[in-house]
Structure 1
């Protein structure tokens, strides 16, 4: 029996090993409408609690008590230089995501179950204008703006029905 380096068994084992290693090194993104991402070891993160809606915040300040956080913004900077900001509601779910940096994040992972709706919207936009460029997919339950060029990508996505009181899509940045 020869010990051929390209035998089917060894090729299959190499493929399985490569797939397992790739899965370990891929960043874990947040899924819009779901739980925040698990931060990879090669990334840094900061979180900021955002104040309650403007009227409630003013009333709390007048009474001398600190307002409760209505949502949290957690920014994660990856080793690639790309930053993803997650807007996390009081219920612990992500209602908005924004990104910018030299690498385009994995929108399928970021948008989760909303990705197919986004992809359909992008396909319709590209068919209508027959060119590439920034896109804005706006539906009643999902808004995604994305653009940029090699080395500089940006965008934001949010769920209009999940935005906390006093917050608009313009605040997701």
Structure 2
């Protein structure tokens, strides 16, 4: 049986810590629904609904164009839309609303109301629409109760 010294164990732990820090630093930073926005490098922004909101657009690591909708009054993200060759990480975008989405999707599936190429899942707090096919995905997710005055569901494109 081979044993290692405390020095070797310490070096291994330090190396593991450094690697995990590097992997976290490489992860893309973005906000989830209901959070304050984080603007990725290279993002563009424009006002919506006379300034009631702003749209921050960026391209994620998978090549999808993601639009982050931020309410001017509250300063929080109330919606996302996306289009591109990959789906964004919905769990990350939905944040604390992901459980609501998962349970609503499971209920919809159990009732036999799901579709191969698209879905509209209406949860208690969040609505998620996804669709498309390989290399051409599109969708949107939003908090209906958080839509700013003057912003309609149809404005989320």
- TM-score when normalising by structure 2: 0.80
Q: CA deviation at 1:170?
A: 1.9
Moved more, 156-165 or 119-128: 119-128
Counterparts of 2:123 and 2:144 in 1: how far apart (Å)?
9
Matched, 1:162 2:146: yes
Counterparts of 1:11 and 1:135 in 2: how far apart (Å)?
47
- Whether the 8 Å CA contact 1:140–1:160 is kept in 2: the answer is no
Match of 1:98 among 76, 81, 97: 81
Which residue of the partner structure matches residue 58 of structure 1? none
Which residue of the partner structure matches residue 30 of structure 1? 31
- TM-score when normalising by structure 1: 0.74
- Whether the 8 Å CA contact 1:125–1:135 is kept in 2: the answer is no
Q: CA deviation at 1:30?
A: 1.9
- Whether the 8 Å CA contact 2:81–2:156 is kept in 1: the answer is yes
Q: Per-residue CA shift, 1:31-62, capped at 9, x if unaligned?
A: 101111241x4xx211001233xxxxxxxxxx
Q: CA deviation at 1:158?
A: 1.0
Structure 2 runs not aligned, ≥5 long: none
Match of 1:78 among 50, 55, 60: 60
The root-mean-square deviation of aligned C-alpha atoms, in Å, is 2.6
Change (3 A) 1:131 1:70: closer
Q: CA deviation at 1:163?
A: 0.9
Q: Per-residue CA shift, 1:9-29, capped at 9, x if unaligned?
A: 776555444322221111122
Q: CA deviation at 1:79?
A: 4.6
Which residue of the partner structure matches residue 127 of structure 1? 110
Which residue of the partner structure matches residue 142 of structure 1? 126
Q: CA deviation at 1:131?
A: 6.4
Q: CA deviation at 1:98?
A: 0.6
How many residues are treated as equivalent by the alignment? 151
